[in-house]
Structures are given as structure tokens and as C-alpha cells.
Amino acid sequence: MSGRQSIEESVIARAVQLAGSPSARAPIGAGDDMALVSVGTAKVLFAVDQVVEGIHFRAGTPLDLVARKAVARNVSDIAAMGGLPSACVASATLPSDMSAADARALVDAVAHWAQSFDCPLVGGDTAVHTVASAPLTLSVTVLASVRSDGIIARRSGACAGDTLLLGGAVGGSFGADGLGRHLHIEPRVSQAQQLIDQLGGSVHAMIDISDGLGRDAARIAHASGLRTGRSLQARLRGDQIPLRSGVTLRQGLCDGEDHELLAAIEAGAPIPAGWTAIGSIVTPQHGDTRGCVVDVAGGEQDASDLGWTHG
């Protein structure tokens, strides 16, 4: 685990600790792709995420693509929870040498992509760095509504025996030039809705693949194990994982920034079109603490920590 990753994980763990137990005001707190809060008689899903120059995109990346990624990766979290986009707000800290024209272009791009993903921009904030070399940072907060049937897809609902489904091919999201599919995320809101429409409560858990298939599958197993009080493990079949053209299995497991959906569904439930069964949730042997194991030719591989690190 890199130093930056270790810091990030420790901060997230602390935030979850401080959030405390679920309450009437916040039935779902930190630890999922989105939180759920009560606003009057309504239930609202919300989440925040940011993109930082030098970490999530390279200097010189077209501002339109920076804005697209910032909005899309948040709307992808809505998809993972089975929610429906409502609106978003954005805040940016701009480099001191950014021109007024570029700053306006960035705002226009955020508004364009927010509208395109049915999550219109309704407000925000901005500041300017005093240091010329400081990076562009763009943060987006999204609000979403819960389905009319009340179903919310969480990370923690998986059970031993569940089938793991992947909603698309993975790997190779970053090009050597820093461009690539990570700048062209397609939030799978419709795909998630169709899955729940067809299977209802048989959809036990879901997550979008942001940090790598191995690491995010392990997160479902870990969160679900904490809920049930039993150790759980994601067991993947390496030969069944759909990979992007020219991508190795290892890249598919750890490249990250795919933002395809990974779902755990009840054993025996029908597999809808567009989804691939890639494994299952199992009860590991005593003493086996691995969160995700991949069966490969001639053996198995621990994929629990295979994933993209932010920096």
C-alpha cells in the first residue's frame, strides 16, 4: 500500500467512525457510494467526489473532459445505489494563471455534462490559488432520489452463495498519454434501473468499479461480512471476466476508473442481458482473510488489494 493510499484509507476509515451508527436523520451514512438522509418526509441520496490535476487527470487535459469526468464519476455513484439523479452543485479551486475565458469554459462544461446526465447544475463556489503551480481541483456534489419502490442497492447486502455480475468490460482506462476511457465515463443509471426492475429485491449489493475490480469486489465482501457478522469472500473466475481489447487479466483487475457496475444477486436469479456472471460470494475457509480471490489457470490469485491508487 502506497503512502498516499494509506492516508486516503485512514481518512475514509476515520470519517466512517465519526459518522457513527445509522440514525433517523441519516439511515445510510459513510461507507457506501452515497449517503441517505431524511429531509422532512423525503429521503435523499447524496455524494461528493473531486478530480485533481496530476492525480485524476494530467495537465493539459481539455477542460471539457475534466468537467465530464468530475460529473460522470459522481452520477456513476448514483447508478451504483440504484438512485435517480436530481441535481448537483460544483466547486472549483482554479490555478492562478487560468484565464477568465477558461474559467467560464469550465463552468459551461460542468453545466453541459450535468444536464446531459440528467443531473442539472444548480449552484456552486469557486476560489483561485495564490500559488501559480497549484493544481486545478473540481469537486461535484450530487443529489438523487430513491426509487418509488424504496429499493436502494448497498455494498453490504451480499450473502454467501450470491452470484456476482459485471455490467461491462474492464481494464485499460488510462492511455499512455493520460487520456483514455477514464475521461469518457458513461454512468450506468439506466442499466442499474433495468437490473432492479427485473430482479427487485434479488439484487443484494452493487458498486461501481472505480478503484479496480479486485479491490471493489473485496469491498462488497468486507461490507457484507460486517453486516452479517460472518467472513465473506468474493470468488471470481478469471476466464469469465470481460476485458477490453488488448487488456490483460491483471489490468482488468487493477486498472480502475472503469465505472462499470458489479452486482451481487440471489443465487439462481436470472442473469439479465448485458450482464456477465463472473463469480460468487462464498464463505472462506477458516483463517482465510482474503476479500477477493481470482481462479486462474493453474491456481488462484489474491486480488483484494489489486486496484488503482490515487497518485
Q: What is the pLDDT at residue 306? A: 85
Which residue reads 439506466 in cell numbers? Answer: 190
Residues of the chain with CATH 3.30.1330.10: 32-145
Q: What is the pLDDT at residue 79? A: 98
Q: Residue 174 has which C-alpha cell?
A: 488510462
Q: What is the pLDDT at residue 19? A: 65
**Beta strand 203-208 with 261-265: parallel, antiparallel or unpaired?**
antiparallel
Q: Residue 138 has which C-alpha cell?
A: 473540481
Looking at the domain that runs over 155-302, which CATH code has it been given? 3.90.650.10
**Beta strand 233-237 with 35-39: parallel, antiparallel or unpaired?**
unpaired
Q: What is the pLDDT at residue 107? A: 97
Q: What is the pTM of this model?
A: 0.93
Half-sphere exposure of 262 (CA within 13 A, CB side): 36
Residues of the chain with confidence (pLDDT) below 70: 1-6, 8-9, 12, 15-16, 18-22, 308-311
Write phi, then psi, for 111 (nearest 5 degrees).
-65, -40
Looking at the domain that runs over 32-145, which CATH code has it been given? 3.30.1330.10
CB burial of residue 172 (10 Å; 0-12, 13-18, 19+)? buried
Q: What is the pLDDT at residue 227? A: 86
CB burial of residue 11 (10 Å; 0-12, 13-18, 19+)? exposed
The alpha carbon dihedral of 28, 92, 174, 1 has a sign of: negative
8 A C-beta contact, residue 269 and residue 199: yes
Q: Residue 139 has which C-alpha cell?
A: 469537486
Q: What is the pLDDT at residue 311? A: 41
